[in-house]
Amino acid sequence: MALDFKKLIAFSAVGLMLAACSTSSTTDGGISDPMEGLNRGIFKFNDVVDTAVLKPVAEGYRAGVPKPARVGVRNALRNLKTPQVVANNLLQGNVTGACDGVTRFLANTLFGLAGTIDVAGSEGVKYKEEDFGQTLGVWGAGTGPYVVLPFFGSSSVRDTAGLAVDIYADPVRIVLANTDRHVLSYTRSAISVVDKREELLDVLADLKKNSIDYYAATKSAYTQRRAAQISNNGENADLVDMP
């Protein structure tokens, strides 16, 4: 299935309009949460799925796969995402970020065993996540209300629209779909989920243990991280993704 640019533009326009028409924050600076009752229900569902499936799988992955191999998998997954990172940097007008992304992709693909070794990172060109939700934020779209998506977790109106564009425009997904290699696409997605959950094992355990309200704590962490990513605040933007 080839990329339909009309649909891509439509997704982007709808996301921008929805986010622009939504309130982005409460009076105390936090994200608005008018659907809190529904969000808490979905959050509880996600937590049950996580406890029953994702967390045990991630723990098994950590216990059974040596750290160097896990790091190699994470590097390879990031390398596959780099073309989208470059595209979003360009859309944001961040030429330096785009050049860094191209440098990382070429160096790690050619000299890092297809991206499993972060050659560029060792030379100071670090990986920096960029997605279309961030691009919408840079363009001035409001955050919109807080949303908890089934399986995906914390989001907002703006970031949900951005996620749809990211999934639809994913070049790896497009290539695999056009060559009838759907199994490889699903495999990459599954590995990405396990890798991310393994990365979050300690963070989420601490957050859950030390928070009075796990839902509120997760929402706060998500909101702070997304704000830092959009403003390119390096200190907070380096925090791992919240579910």
Indicate whether 166 pLDDT > 90: yes
Beta bridge partners of 148: 154
Average the pLDDT over each of 129-138, 152-161, 173-182 and give the range with the smallest value: 173-182
Residue pLDDT, tens place only, 149-160 = 999 999 999 999
Indicate whether 28 pLDDT > 50: no
The whole-number pLDDT of residue 234 equals: 56
147-154 own/partner pairs: CB under 8 Å, 24+ apart: 147/35, 147/39, 148/38, 148/39, 148/40, 148/42, 148/43, 148/46, 149/42, 150/42, 150/45, 150/46, 151/46, 151/49, 153/43, 153/46, 153/218, 153/242, 153/243, 154/218, 154/219, 154/222, 154/242, 154/243
Region 37-43 average pLDDT: 98
Q: Residue 221's closest CA among 240, 205, 202?
A: 240
* Cα angle for residues 155, 168, 194 (degrees, 5° grid): 60
Residue 27's pLDDT band, with cuts at 50, 70 and 90, is very low
Residue 177's pLDDT band, with cuts at 50, 70 and 90, is confident
Query: Rounded to 5 degrees, what are φ and ψ at 96?
Result: -60, -45
Judged on CB neighbours under 10 Å (0-12, 13-18, 19+), 67 is exposed
Burial 1-18 (b: 16+ CB within 10 A, else e): eeeeeeeeeebbeebbeb
Indicate whether 235 pLDDT > 80: no
Indicate whether 9 pLDDT > 90: no
Residue 45 CB: number of other CB atoms within 10 A? 13
CB 134 within 8 A of CB 230: yes
Indicate whether 178 pLDDT > 70: yes
Indicate whether 165 pLDDT > 60: yes
Query: Rounded to 5 degrees, what are φ and ψ at 68?
Result: -55, -35
